[in-house]
Structure 1
Amino acid sequence: MRGLRVLPSGRPGRGRLYVNLPDGQAVAWYDRETNRISVLRDEHREAVLAALRPYLHQGYTLGPPPVPTPADLRRLALPPDEDLAPNRPGEALLGELAYGSAGARARHRLRPEVLAQQRMGEELDALESPDWRVLHAVALPGAGVIDHLVIGPSGILCVRTVPGRRQRAAVGDLLLTVGRAEPRQDPRWIRQAAARASRALTAPVTPALALVEASRIEVAPTVRDIRVLQPATALPYLSEAPATLKPPDVEALFVLARDRRTWAGRSAGPVPRGPRR
Structure 2
Amino acid sequence: MNGLRVVPAWRHGQERLYVSLPDGGNIAWYDRDAARVNLLGEDREAEVLEALGPFLTGPVSVGPPLAPTPAELARLTLHPDDDLAPNRPGEALLVAIDRDPGPARLLRADPRHRALEAERAVGEVLDRMDGLGVRTLHSIPLPGGDRVHHLAIGPGGLYAVHAVYARRQRVTVADPLVTVGRRREPHPLLRRVRADADRVSYALTAEVRPVLVLAGASQVTVRTPPREVRVLTDGEVERLGGLGGVLKPADVEALHAMARDRNTWARL
Global fold match (TM > 0.5): yes
Paired residue for 2:226? 223
User: What amino acid is aligned across from residue 226 of structure 2 in structure 1?
Assistant: V
* Residue matched to 2:177: 175
- Paired residue type of 2:88: R
The alpha-carbon deviation at position 167 of structure 1 amounts to 1.0
Question: 1:85 touches 1:135 (CA, 8 Å); kept in 2?
Answer: yes
Answer whether contact 1:161 1:209 (CA < 8 A) is retained: yes
Q: Give the distance between the partners of 1:35 and 1:169, measured in 2 at CA.
A: 45
**Aligned ranges 1:83-232 → 2 under 5 Å:** 83-100=83-100, 102-103=102-103, 105=106, 108-129=110-131, 131-179=133-181, 180-232=183-235
Whole-Å separation in 2 of the counterparts to 1:100 and 1:171? 33
Aligned partner of 1:253 in structure 2 is 255
Question: How many pairs were matched up?
Answer: 236
Superposed CA RMSD in Å reads: 3.0
Per the alignment, residue 55 of structure 2 pairs with 58
Specify the code of the residue in structure 2 equivalent to 1:75: R
Identity of aligned residues (%): 44
* Contact 2:175–2:224 under 8 Å retained in 1: no
Is the Cα–Cα contact under 8 Å of residues 194 and 229 in structure 2 kept in the other structure?
yes
Residues in 2 aligned to 1:167 and 1:89: alpha-carbon distance in whole angstroms: 22
Which amino acid in 1 is paired with 2:131?
S
Query: Could you say if the C-alpha distance between residues 34 and 97 of structure 1 is closer, same or farther in structure 2, counting changes exceeding 3 Å?
Result: same
Any unmatched runs of 5+ in structure 1? 1-5, 20-27, 43-56, 267-277
1:246 deviates by 0.7
Cα deviation digits, residues 50-95 of structure 1 (max 9, x gap): xxxxxxx835998642122211111111111111111111111111
Question: CA offsets, 1:148-183, max 9 Å, x none?
Answer: 110000000001100113111112322211012233
TM-score, L = length of structure 2: 0.77
* 1:8 Cα deviation from its structure 2 partner: 4.7
In 2, are the aligned partners of 1:124 and 1:134 still within 8 Å (CA)? yes
CA distance in 2, matches of 1:224, 1:217: 16
Partners of 1:154 and 1:198 lie apart in 2 by 15
TM-score (norm 1): 0.75
Shift in Å at residue 234 of structure 1? 1.3
SS at match of 1:94: helix
Partner of 2:221: helix, strand, or coil? strand
Q: Distance in 1 between matches of 2:159 and 2:204?
A: 12
Distance in 2 (alpha carbons) for counterparts of 1:243 and 1:29: 33
AA at the equivalent of 2:213: A
CA offsets 1:33-66 (integer angstroms, 9 cap, x no match): 2365758x99xxxxxxxxxxxxxx8359986421
Q: Which runs of 5+ in 2 are unaligned?
A: 1-8, 19-27, 42-53
- 2-structure distance, mates of 1:201, 1:162: 25
Q: Which residue of 2 aligns with 1:52?
A: none
Distance change (3 Å), C-alpha of 1:220 and 1:65 = farther
